[in-house]
A and B are shown apart, each in its own frame.
Chain A
């Protein structure tokens, strides 16, 4: 059974720092991996989608990498801003299934 783990559960950094959020998964047979952002009391906003054949995706200050063989993905946020404060969720889509399997998320707080 696929399990997705995100470490750390919470992270606090000062504004301007570069940071890395980690996501690991137990079954490397995935179709894709998706990173989401969730603001308190809000829905999920898709940030980046990495297909299983890709190594990384970039959008603005965000860069997500994927290493299927080791079952790991990282989300790199450059020059963090207070507006980046949110919970970041990682989710994988298995080859055998049609739905996403989520980690519990990392709650990021960026102080000014």
Chain B
């Protein structure tokens, strides 16, 4: 199993540009998450999904959109990039049930100039 994979690893955007961060998991997990990590801070939840076709906002959803058309994929869309979105983005997944551990992807480092 590849686990959770993310692309790209690095990206530089100009203000106002758009992009999609890709996330794929091959563990047949129902639950998927997008977090952002700013320097010296813990991870904050952007959006999550409990299964294909079902998504919900997390703590910091403004400026982002998600979709979940398949169990494997959970892309994160930035429509109008702003410097405040400079961060490292992590995708994670877990199986169903309350107690199961989350598995994280390697992250996407995004800079908006």
Give me the interface of A with B, judged by CB distance under 8 Å.
4, 31-32, 34, 36, 41-46, 49, 51-52, 89, 91, 93, 95, 98-105
Interface: B99 (CB within 8 A): yes
Number of interface residues of B (CB under 8 A): 24
Q: A89-B42, A99-B33, A102-B42 are in contact. Are A31 and B98 (CB under 8 A)?
A: yes
On chain A, the residues within 8 Å of B101 by CB distance are: 32, 34, 46, 49
Tell me, rounded to whole Å, the shortest Cβ–Cβ distance linking B6 to chain A.
Answer: 8
User: Nearest 5 pairs between A and B by C-beta?
Assistant: A102-B42, A44-B104, A43-B106, A49-B101, A102-B43
Bound: A30/B65 CA distance, A: 28
Interface residues in B49-107 by Cβ distance below 8 A to A read: 50, 58, 90, 92, 98-99, 101-107
Bound: A89/B42 CA distance, A: 8
Main SS at interface, chain B: strand
Bound: A100/B45 CA distance, A: 8
Q: A98-B31, A98-B50 are in contact. Are A46 and B102 (CB under 8 A)?
A: yes
Q: A43-B90, A44-B90, A93-B98 are in contact. Are A99 and B45 (CB under 8 A)?
A: yes
On chain A, the residues within 8 Å of B43 by CB distance are: 44, 89, 91, 100, 102
